[in-house]
Structures are given as structure tokens and as C-alpha cells.
A = this chain, B = another copy of it.
């Protein structure tokens, strides 16, 4: 998974640049490029299994879940779960870290928040003010 995190970082950089800075959907039309980047995230969430995986990880005690915890929930083979986790990973929605025998996944709440912000129709108040953490994206594992 180590060489993949490289590619993963690239995706995340693009996402941070596009998702993180673009106005809400209803504010101004997305450019072709922006829509391509954003749609990657939505496509990753556009599968029931992946959405449930995301939710299982996000709501799991400690904010992280071992793959072995996730596999049992579904009537799917190991490779299939692994595939879906990879898709979520490449979309930047989760990060994985190996600790000993097990691999633990956790969500990236910042990305979820950004995507959520894009969806919300012209924020009722205070869309601006709060340059907060435009590039405070936590570095992926070690």
C-alpha cells in the first residue's frame, strides 16, 4: 500500500485545490475540471457497499476500524471489500494504516466537511469569513 499512497496524495492535492476552494454548487456553475474532480468523490460514495463501509468506519469506536471488522458485516468476499476500500482510499475519503497484522482505516472528516459544504445551497449566512484550514489536510500516515 506504500507506493499507492503516493498516487493517493496526488489525488488529495487535486481535491484540496478543487473541492476545497470552489463555491457551493448553487453559487456558480462548476467548471469541467472541477466537476470531474468532485464527481470522483461522489462516484466513490455512489455504491451501497462503499457508503456503508464509510459509515462503519466513521462511526466505529476510536474513529478507526480494522478490515476484519468490516468484512463480517457483508456477504462479500475479502477481495471485494478490499477493492471497495481501495476506491474509497483513492477518492481521498479514508486512509489506511497497517499496525502489526491488521490494517486500520479511518475517515477524513475534513474531506467530508468540504464535500458537504459544496452541496449546501448558498449558505444562509457566513459562507465567507473563516479561511480556516485550506491546506491543513493531515498528512496521510507515516
A residues touching B (Cβ–Cβ < 8 Å)?
20-23, 25-32, 35-36, 38-39, 42-52, 54-56, 58-60, 73, 107, 109-110, 112-117, 119-121, 123, 126-140
Contacts and interface: CB of A to CB of B under 8 A. Distances in A.
Chain A, interface SS category: loop
Contacts of A43: 42-43, 46-47
How many copies of this chain does one complex carry? 2
Given A20-B129, A43-B47, 6 more contacts: A39-B45, A39-B50, A113-B126, A113-B129, A128-B130, A130-B132
5 closest cross-chain pairs (CB), A and B: A43-B46, A117-B128, A26-B58, A116-B119, A46-B46
A119 B115 contact: yes
Contact of A30 (B36, B52, B109, B139): B52
